[in-house]
Amino acid sequence: MDAVRDSGNAKAEPHSSVEADELNLPRLHEKRRLNIDRKSSLDERSLSELSLGGNVRNVESYDSMYSPMATTGARSGWDTPASTTPRASDPHPMVVDAWDSLRRSLVFFRGLPVGTIAAADHQSEQVLNYDQVFVRDFVPSALAFLMNGEPDIVKNFLLKTVQLQSWEKRIDRFKLGEGAMPASFKVLHDPIRKTDSLAADFGESAIGRVAPIDSGFWWIILLRAYTKSTGDISLAESSECQKGMRLVLSLCLSEGFDTFPTLLCADGCSMIDRRMGIYGYPIEIQALFFMALRCAFSMLKHDAEGKEFIERIVKRVHALSYHIRTYFWLDFQQLNVIYRYKTEEYSHTAVNKFNVIPDSIPDWLFDFMPCRGGYFIGNVSPARMDFRWFSLGNFFAILSSLSTPDQSAAIMDLIEERWEELVGDMPLKISYPAIESYEWRVVTGCDPKNTRWSYHNGGSWPVLLWMLTAACIKTGRPQIARRALDLAESRLMKDGWPEYYDGKLGRFVGKQARKFQTWSIAGYLVAKMMLEDPTHVGMVSLEEDKAMKPAPKRSASWSC
């Protein structure tokens, strides 16, 4: 747990600004508007369709993908696992337990639900910051609530976090970019004055003092999921949310010295929030970046301010997809190409553009790479390819259509071919393989929490199950998700919904894992609901944009 410390000692000034901001709260009471007729064309708008004349938002052409709430009407009620009731009159006992636990993790601000705490592990002596609402951790909770017809908490969360974004953020004497979103926030109840205030962590309390680059992306992705699920475009179109998106975008689309369209990142800026050698251009952030760009593209208004960003998004997604599809992709044939790379090439004719030395290919990769399958590697930068597998980045590449359809299918093939390594006894490895010995010392700085096959270093995280499930459904392979779900169902609840598992096969409850980890619980529910009703996947999936030319097909990844 990394943004460690109890935010009870949070700074005083920000609180007052939040209390002032709360004047906006009446907005939160606004009756949920399910406006089926005003559904916007949220995602399937082609990037090439960039029309600079007026608002291209076409209310008629909202894609026909199922929007659960728009078609069935909002379901309400705080205590029914409603998603299971239409089909299963007798829901799985784990589903009932999961909903109970999820509801116990709710956090209220002035009487309104605004999020879920990271873990409600009352047995653990160290609360650390697991009693906070983490932006990334809330995403599966939010999806579960949306799927269950309870969008208000998601709306409250989105508005609350966008208000936090407007705080002034400092680390020592350095002021952070305006668009930075918090990693987490906490509601402080004052029982005497009977007031609630907020404390947020933008990285200034985190281990390593790294700002969470993923938070702003998750916020945009969730805003689109909310809009898609409810058909209510008023939230995305509100001036707060439009500004929130623009601020995130101006942080990540700013010009600098970059020669690559990928986003340069510090170690520890994402779900893997401590030093794990992911600095540079980690696939996790690139995939979320790409997804967030495409989501923002579908929600930004074509007004004077929005237009400028829309144009920048279009340029960036084209360059980014080309770069990732071409240079991050690895399959048997491409590995063979790299293995035979010449080095010290210069100029435009270079094949080995980043001067990767074949000797740097790790031994494990020659055994791991199947004849059938492929994946996006962890990182690419000058003379450095991090060949490790990272689940989140690969699943979000599929969901955002950053991968071509062939690449998506090859990623699923790889999971089937390397089931034991990547899924083992508990879905799913966060990264593969673990780093050990000397490499562990150098890369992690001797981190005792990230020892081999534990935590971020090859540990297994149940939360990843929902992303696997969504990717399986999108690629037409739900049976893979079902197999993984069966494994989770055999242990997760019995083990008390741990945060992560340890070991090569993920057989052991993680050394320092919290129990009743909310995103393990919510991730299970989301996976279960998606399998029951695959149309839910539309909330977190974008179809391929035909205008983005796939990278020239270098190899058919399914043959050696």
Q: In Å, how far are 101, 222, 274, 452 from 509, measured between CA atoms?
A: 19, 30, 20, 14
Count of CB atoms situated within 10 Å of the CB of 479: 10
Task: Tell the burial category of 4 from Cβ atoms under 10 Å away from its Cβ (0-12, 13-18, 19+).
Answer: middle
Secondary structure (3-state) at 143: helix
Note if the bond before 399 is cis, omega within 30 degrees. Answer: no
Which listed residue (204, 232, 273, 502) binds ligand GLC by CB under 6 A?
Answer: 273
Angle at 286 between CA 282 and CA 287, to 5 degrees: 115
| Residue 118 found at the interface with ligand GLC (CB under 6 A) | yes
2-21: which residues touch ligand GLC (CB under 6 A)? 2
Residue 45 vs 452, nearer CB to ligand GLC: 452
> Cβ of residue 119: shortest distance to ligand GLC, in angstroms?
6
Residue 450's nearest CA partner among 408, 383, 511 is: 511
| Residue 406 found at the interface with ligand GLC (CB under 6 A) | no
| Residue 1 found at the interface with ligand GLC (CB under 6 A) | yes
Residue 153 vs 271, nearer CB to ligand GLC: 271
> Cβ of residue 275: shortest distance to ligand GLC, in angstroms?
12
> Cβ of residue 137: shortest distance to ligand GLC, in angstroms?
5
Q: Would you state the structure tokens that stand for residue 155, as one six-digit string?
A: 């709306």
> Cβ of residue 360: shortest distance to ligand GLC, in angstroms?
28
> Cβ of residue 558: shortest distance to ligand GLC, in angstroms?
33
Residue 498's nearest CA partner among 552, 425, 396 is: 425
Which listed residue (15, 39, 45, 136) binds ligand GLC by CB under 6 A?
Answer: 136
CB 473 within 8 A of CB 534: yes
Residue 146 vs 271, nearer CB to ligand GLC: 271
361 Cβ contact partners less than 8 Å away, ≥ 6 residues apart: 335, 338, 339, 385, 387
Stretch that binds ligand GLC, among 24-32, 109-117, 129-137, 287-295 (CB under 6 A): 129-137
Site track for ligand GLC across 230-269, x = CB under 6 A: ----------------------------------------
Residue 118 vs 434, nearer CB to ligand GLC: 118
Q: Which helix (H) or strand (E) holds 106?
A: strand 106-109
Q: Which helix (H) or strand (E) holds 199?
A: strand 195-201
Residue 355 vs 512, nearer CB to ligand GLC: 512
Stretch that binds ligand GLC, among 131-139, 249-257, 340-348, 472-480 (CB under 6 A): 131-139
> Cβ of residue 136: shortest distance to ligand GLC, in angstroms?
5
> Cβ of residue 226: shortest distance to ligand GLC, in angstroms?
20
> Cβ of residue 168: shortest distance to ligand GLC, in angstroms?
24
Residue 137 vs 150, nearer CB to ligand GLC: 137
> Cβ of residue 125: shortest distance to ligand GLC, in angstroms?
17
Distance CA 230, CA 539 (A): 10
Q: Would you state the structure tokens that stand for residue 452, as one six-digit string?
A: 């081999």
Note if the bond before 433 is cis, omega within 30 degrees. Answer: yes
Please provide the distance, in angstroms rounded to a whole number, between the alpha carbons at the two ends of the chain: 42
Residue 5 vs 27, nearer CB to ligand GLC: 5
| Residue 271 found at the interface with ligand GLC (CB under 6 A) | yes
Stretch that binds ligand GLC, among 9-17, 132-140, 156-164, 486-494 (CB under 6 A): 132-140
Residue 267 vs 273, nearer CB to ligand GLC: 273
Question: What does the DSSP assignment read for 268-336?
Answer: T-SSS-S-SS--BS-HHHHHHHHHHHHHHHHHS--SHHHHHHHHHHHHHHHHHHHHIIIIIEEEHHHHH
163-202: which residues touch ligand GLC (CB under 6 A)? none
CA 492 to mean position of chain CA atoms: 22
> Cβ of residue 180: shortest distance to ligand GLC, in angstroms?
16
How many chain residues bind ligand GLC (CB under 6 A)? 8
| Residue 296 found at the interface with ligand GLC (CB under 6 A) | no
**Residue owning tokens 């251009």:** 281
Stretch that binds ligand GLC, among 11-19, 134-142, 192-200, 364-372 (CB under 6 A): 134-142
Question: What does the DSSP assignment read for 350-387?
Answer: -SSTT---GGGS-HHHHHH--SS-EEE-SEEETTEEE-
Residue 270 vs 321, nearer CB to ligand GLC: 270
Stretch that binds ligand GLC, among 133-141, 252-260, 431-439, 534-542 (CB under 6 A): 133-141
> Cβ of residue 123: shortest distance to ligand GLC, in angstroms?
16
Stretch that binds ligand GLC, among 18-26, 130-138, 354-362, 399-407 (CB under 6 A): 130-138
Count of CB atoms situated within 10 Å of the CB of 254: 11
| Pairing assessment for the beta strands 389-390 and 431-432 based on DSSP bridges | antiparallel
> Cβ of residue 291: shortest distance to ligand GLC, in angstroms?
17
> Cβ of residue 96: shortest distance to ligand GLC, in angstroms?
24
Distance CA 250, CA 515 (A): 38
SS3 content of the chain, % helix, strand, coil (to 5): 45, 10, 45
Residues that bind ligand GLC (CB under 6 A): 1-2, 118, 134, 136-137, 271, 273
